[in-house]
Amino acid sequence: MTASIHDIPFSRADGSTTSLGEYANKVLLIVNVASKCGFTKQYDGLEALYRSYRDQGFVVLGFPANDFAGQEPGTDAEIQEFCRLTYGVEFPVFAKIEVTGPRKHPLYQALIEARPKAVFKPDSTLVTRLAGRGAAPAAGEVSWNFEKFLVDRKGVVVARFGSDTEPQDEAIVGAVRKLLAV
């Protein structure tokens, strides 16, 4: 594994290469996104959260993934257009990657290694529903689209939230505010 999460390269939607180093000294919420998922409406909440705190050093980073039920079938250009036109997304959305399985992107390998288990709300039914469909996540894997990793200004992964935790949930907003205050 790379020495720092900031050093792991990945692609922008235009094919150029970048890394989290571009966002050093910022608080990050890294989310695997999909355009045809029941959680896709979370783009609204992610954008609102981004706009509320971006001037304080907060960035939402979207990583499209087609790993769950083929819910992100589009090309990188189609995904960008969808995000912009449907949800008015201004936060960065990168090239499609894999977030599970043997071809999991090194960024997600590092995120999961740092936080192996997502925190789900006590009343969450997502894990039970997935298990009922035979899609329960393997240990140490992302469970579904819109799972969220919170990274502090130093590049430390400090929290991981389940897919059904909305971006405006106090668990996320409070954690973001706390990290921004440091």
Tokens of 147: 């799972």
- Closest alpha carbon to 148 in 165, 125, 126: 165
The CA distance from 160 to 32, in Å, is: 12
Residues recognised as catalytic? 37
DSSP, collapsed to helix, strand or coil, labels residue 123 as coil
The CA distance from 79 to 85, in Å, is: 10
DSSP, collapsed to helix, strand or coil, labels residue 180 as helix
